Structures are given as structure tokens and as C-alpha cells.
Structure 1
Amino acid sequence: MAKTSSKTPHGTSSPDPMPDRVDPCLAMLVDKPPKGPDWAFEVKWDGYRLAVYVEPDRVRIITRGGHDWTPRLASIATEARQLGYETLILDGEAVVLDDQGRSDFGMLQRALGRKPSLHDPREILFFAFDLLYVDGWDLRRLPLRERRWLLEPIVAGREGAIRLSEEVEADGEEFYRIACAHGLEGIIAKHCEKPYRSGRSDCWQKITCRRRDSFVIVGYEPSAVPGAIGRLLLAARKGEGLVYVGGCGTGWSHQESIKLRELLDEIRDKPAVALSRKGAVFTRPVLVAEVEYRAWTDESKLRHPSFKGIRELEDHSGVYEIDPQMKS
């Protein structure tokens, strides 16, 4: 027998059929947090978006793209059954936390991977941030404020595989500054008075923390467009030398790409880093790219880099230096 919550949705008169699948509400990327009393904020988790469907005879864990990951996330499925509700749909994010409590996408990928890993799938946690359906009530028509009011007694205070993604009532810009200073992925802003809307809208907004550093250009990969660049090949300092940190393929216009290729073609040279890549054109390491990026991968490569500008290499003082302990 399912638990009956003391909190009941407003304006409902008869049970609603449980949806077989709900397309997720997606946050719109914006430059800065919104202002006003109708906005609440959460940490932006660096993981996989999932929905947990609890039904009388089964539990399903479905990805944003519609794939069934229930067998891969058995500990989350088991705990979902133990929440005590006959039917339930939770919206949230699967993550693995590092030793500082931050979500780490690389650790999550290893825990989910088929290769031997130091990370166990049981380390994967599900942070629930929305409640879409519970015991006969479709809650999507309700404002977020009420959905959260119903969600919290179900998952708040749990320390197992399913946990509550805490809502922060704070100044958005200050919360964003603190989140970035602590190395988090960013923050999510949600309008408290809006219903749940599948697809992307400005009811939910994401503000990501971006890093900006300088990297030596060591070559490029040609574009399929004649005379243009597909990707810049970038390197960072490591000890007395340079180490390849990945390619950057966005951030320039078509005309800028052509001019950049003309510039690099004038300084073609042998590889300045240990890199073998078919079709790559290597250059003397005399130019520096200013690059904005999100984070580092487990292989010490830039994640989601975007080109912001170029300058000459006067000395190595302004070039990013890799920690000698990092893998290359």
C-alpha cells in the first residue's frame, strides 16, 4: 500500500493516468542569473539527466534521450521502490561526487563504463529536483513552488542513492560567484510560479562557469570548407616543454577562420608536441590562443573550448601550466 502524503495537489478532482514518458524541461543558457523574488537557484550538476518512474510492478530509469538505464543504475532503482509510493515520477540528475562534494562527469562515465574502473556503479547518486507525478496526480500543471513543496518530504534528508537537490533562496549573482569559485559546473535558475514545460524555455535558465586561459597553438586540422580551419591544436606548459591539451573548433567566423589558416600556414613546422594525427598541419609554437572552456577531462584535455582571440608568444609566463601530477 502506498504512502499518502499529507500534502495534496490543488485543483485536482479525479486521478490522472500516469504518463508513460515525459520529455524533460530543459534550461536555456543565459549570461547572468535573473533577478527577482520569483526565482530559486540550484547547483548545476555535471551528470546525466534522468527520470525515475515508479510503477506498481516495476521501476524504470529513463535518460533524456529515452534510453532505459534501469539495469545500469540498480541501486537507484532499488531505493526508488523503497520511497513507499505506488506511482511516482522524479526528475533529476545522476552524478558521482568527488572528494570535495562536487559532481565529476569523468568519474560518472567511468562508473558507468564497461572497462575496469576504480569507481563502482553504486557510487552513482540521483539528485531529484522535481516531482512530476505521484499516486494518481499529474503535477506538471502546478507551479514549481508547489511541486517542490510536495517533493521535499519524499526525498529530503535521505543519504542513500536518491537525494534532494537543494534549492537556494539567495541573490543569483552572489550564488553564481560562489559556485564558480568552488569549481562547480554552474547554477540553474527556476521560476517558482511556472508549471512544468517539456522542451527548452526560459522558465529554467542555466548559467555556466567558464574558465579562460592562454594556450600555445601547435597546429591545426583543416576544415571541409576550402581554405578554412576545422580545429586549432593547443598545448600547455608542462615542466620545460609543451603538452597537447586538445583541439578547439568554435569561436570564430568563416572569415576569421580563413585568415587564421593563412597566418598558420606561414609558420608550418615539425610537431612541437608528441602528437600523431592524420591530416594535421603543425606549426612553430609562436602564437597563443585565448580560450574559454568549461573544465578539464580525465585525460587532461580541454572540455568545450571556444576560441576568443590570438596573440604572439612573448614568453611562457602567460601560458597555462599543467600540474606535473596531471596525466597527459
Structure 2
Amino acid sequence: MTKPPRKPSKPLLGEADAPLRSRPRRRRDPAQPNLPLDAMPARIEPCLALLMAKPPKGDNWVYEIKWDGYRLSVHIEPTGVRILTRGGHDWTSRFPAIERAAKEFPVATAILDGEAVVLDEQGRPDFSLLQQSLGGRGGKKRSSAALFMAFDLLYFDGHDLRNSELDTRRHLLEDLVPAGGEDDIRLSEEIEADGDQLLESACEHGLEGIIAKRRDAPYSSGRLGDWVKIKCVRSESFMIVGYERSTVARAGIGRLLLAARKGKKLVYVGGVGTGFNERNAYELREKLDGLITSTPAAAVDRKGAVFVKPKLIAEIEYRAWTDDGKLRHASYKGLRDVADGAETYEVKGK
């Protein structure tokens, strides 16, 4: 496929108040020949980003902001709209604003891939605000505050786009979701910038990180490396296997005890005692007390620890690992939901 020449890179977020903009695209030619229609998939396993320490280099990579929320696919069908989580659960009723926005789209059929987020006062995605709007893990609230940041188009007007290059899919997506919109479905815009400079700028602005994608790659389900994520602060999901009581901390939780997967077992990777606010601390204590057990799920040598069944997965920010395999400078972000495809971090080695 012949590609248009690339424009010179522009600095991202170089101006504090300058909005992000994708590079301009040609409008789709309405006189293009009709193609045979493809059956609309009931569900598509998402393409997942592979974690890397540094941004990849080369003209074949394009960049976006990494959104900190719930991965969703929005299915616009002749019978209505369905909103599915990464794990395939139907959460249409939980995102009424996104559903309404999708119904207004001038298209009969489409599948959009993206992320539901709630923005803070500075316009940054905040995972804890998203959780609160949904009533916490296991909650049943309807979130009217959540927006959908669309970053890919997998099916459009009867055509399956998964075998098309990313450039082609983005071309069609930007016709459907124009850049700079303020609706409840917005475009996650591609950014012309040097990867290292973009990551540095994103981190300075308090964002989670960036995503890099191969512009000539088809859409492949799974974590194959066509998409990669580079984070400002490391963030992974760990199993809660217990907690330590405190007489001064909120809800009496002094520290959560965390574990990662290693093969078929759970191994203790340390604890976290910061990041709680009053609300989520009391909600967490209530859930933990319903899971107390005398049998630890991982080998934990902590005097006075209260052990719980391994049912709750916490999202944890951390800076590094110690030499003995424990988390350094960890901070609690919230509970992950199984419906969001939460996976416990896996440590490598023997």
C-alpha cells in the first residue's frame, strides 16, 4: 500500500494549554467500489499492548496517550448498541452516556475499540474516579461520568477491518469520530512526536504513559507486540492474600499483603500501605473481612497477619523491585474487576 509522506514531528504537550491533534487525513471517497459484506463478529478478543521500558523507534511507529480506565468495545448493530468489557461481559446498561452517543452515530454497523475513562479536574484519566462512578468492584452503578476514548475501528458498514493496516483503520475511524470532539465518545488522537520526548512530556503532565503502534499492522488479538505500552510509573495487578491491622489507619488496614503468580502458585511480593482514601478503605475492609481464612494462599512471614482467600485483585503502582523480589514504593490504586479481564502479575524464573 502506498503511504502518504510523513510530516515533520511536532512536540507533544509543548504548549501547556495546546490541545492534542491528529495529523489531517483525506476524507473517504464516497465513490469507492462496494465490497462484499462480512458477517459482523459477536465479539472480538482485544489486541493487548506489550510492556516495554523505552519507546520503539522508526517511522513505522505511531503514538497515543495511554488511557487509564476500562477496556471496552462498542458494537453498533442494526438492533441497537452493545458495550462489552475486555472479558466479554455486557456492560451496556452501566455506561448510558456512551450508549446514547453511539446511537447518534451516522452508521448502521460498527465496532469501536477503546477505553472508558473518567477525567479529573485537569483533564487527566483517573482510574479511582472511574471505579467510584461504577460503585467500586462488584458495584452495579451506572456511570454517567465515563467517556469512551476510541482508538481503533474493527468493523464498519458491513466490512471487517481487522486485516487492514492500522493507517487504513484510523482513516475510517477519524471520519466517524472527528478529532477535538467534546461528546461522550471521543477520538484518542495519534501524536506526531519523538517517542522519548513524548514519554517525558506525558510523565511531566501526570499521565500514565504512552502507547506505540505499528502503522502497517493488521489488528491481531492477544499480546503479540504490534502494540506496546511504555509507562511513567509501573502499574500491575496483584492478588490480595491478607492484610495487617492498624489502630490508626483508615478502616484499620495498615498494609495489604500482595502476591503474584509463579506457575500455578502464588508468591508473596510484599505489601502496600498507601494510596487508600477513607471511602475505598472502608469498602475494602468490608470485602476482606468476608474472605478471612486460616490458610494463607502464599507463604507470608508476617507476625499478626490476617489471611484472606485469593479473590480480590488490586491495581498497584510501584517504582521498582528489590533484589529479593518485593515491590518498592508501592501505592494502592483500586480493585480490578474480573469482567475487565483482570490478570494477576506473573513473575518469571525458576
Instruction: Compute the TM-score of the two structures, normalised by the length of structure 1.
Output: 0.66
CA-CA distance at 1:248 after TM superposition: 5.0
Sort the Cα spacing of 1:232 and 1:143 in 2 relative to 1 into closer, same or farther, 3 A. same
Which whole-Å CA distance do the structure 2 matches of 1:39 and 1:19 have between them? Answer: 28
Aligned 8 A contact 2:96 2:142 in 1: no
Supply the AA of the counterpart residue of 2:83. Answer: I
Superposition RMSD on alpha carbons, in Å?
A: 4.0
Partner residue in 2 for 1:128: 150
Which whole-Å CA distance do the structure 2 matches of 1:204 and 1:19 have between them? Answer: 22
Supply the AA of the counterpart residue of 1:165. Answer: S
CA-CA distance at 1:209 after TM superposition: 1.6
Aligned residues: 254
CA-CA distance at 1:178 after TM superposition: 1.2
Match 1:26 to one of 30, 48, 57: 48
| Cα shift readout 1:102-160 (whole Å, capped 9, x = no counterpart) | 11111001101179x9x972110000000011111111111001110110121123212
Q: Say if 2:203 is the partner of 1:187.
A: no
Partner residue in 2 for 1:42: 64
Q: Say if 2:197 is the partner of 1:174.
A: yes
Partner residue in 2 for 1:147: 169
Aligned 8 A contact 1:248 1:307 in 2: no
Which whole-Å CA distance do the structure 1 matches of 2:47 and 2:220 have between them? Answer: 5
Which whole-Å CA distance do the structure 2 matches of 1:121 and 1:163 have between them? Answer: 16
CA-CA distance at 1:199 after TM superposition: 1.1
Partner residue in 1 for 2:224: 201
Sort the Cα spacing of 1:207 and 1:233 in 2 relative to 1 into closer, same or farther, 3 A. farther
Sort the Cα spacing of 1:232 and 1:177 in 2 relative to 1 into closer, same or farther, 3 A. farther
Partner residue in 2 for 1:265: none
| Cα shift readout 1:199-242 (whole Å, capped 9, x = no counterpart) | 11110001112269xxxxxxxxxxxxxxxxx889799xx9xxxx
Instruction: Compute the TM-score of the two structures, normalised by the length of structure 2.
Output: 0.62
Sort the Cα spacing of 1:33 and 1:133 in 2 relative to 1 into closer, same or farther, 3 A. same
Sort the Cα spacing of 1:278 and 1:136 in 2 relative to 1 into closer, same or farther, 3 A. closer
CA-CA distance at 1:7 after TM superposition: 4.3
- Highest Rg: 1 or 2? 1
Which whole-Å CA distance do the structure 2 matches of 1:89 and 1:82 have between them? Answer: 14
Give the SS at the match of 2:98.
helix
Supply the AA of the counterpart residue of 1:303. Answer: I
Structure 2 gap ranges (5+): 1-26, 236-240, 271-288, 295-299, 304-313, 332-350
Match 1:85 to one of 69, 84, 107: 107
Higher mean C-alpha deviation, range 154-163 or range 127-136: 154-163
Which whole-Å CA distance do the structure 1 matches of 2:119 and 2:86 have between them? Answer: 21
Q: Say if 2:19 is the partner of 1:6.
A: no
Give the SS at the match of 1:98.
coil
Which whole-Å CA distance do the structure 2 matches of 1:9 and 1:23 have between them? Answer: 32
Percent of residue pairs bearing the same amino acid type: 46
| Cα shift readout 1:165-197 (whole Å, capped 9, x = no counterpart) | 011121111111111222211111000000111
Aligned 8 A contact 2:152 2:170 in 1: yes
Match 2:321 to one of 272, 291, 307: 307
Give the SS at the match of 2:94.
helix
CA-CA distance at 1:51 after TM superposition: 0.3
Structure 1 gap ranges (5+): 213-229, 261-275, 284-300, 311-318, 323-328
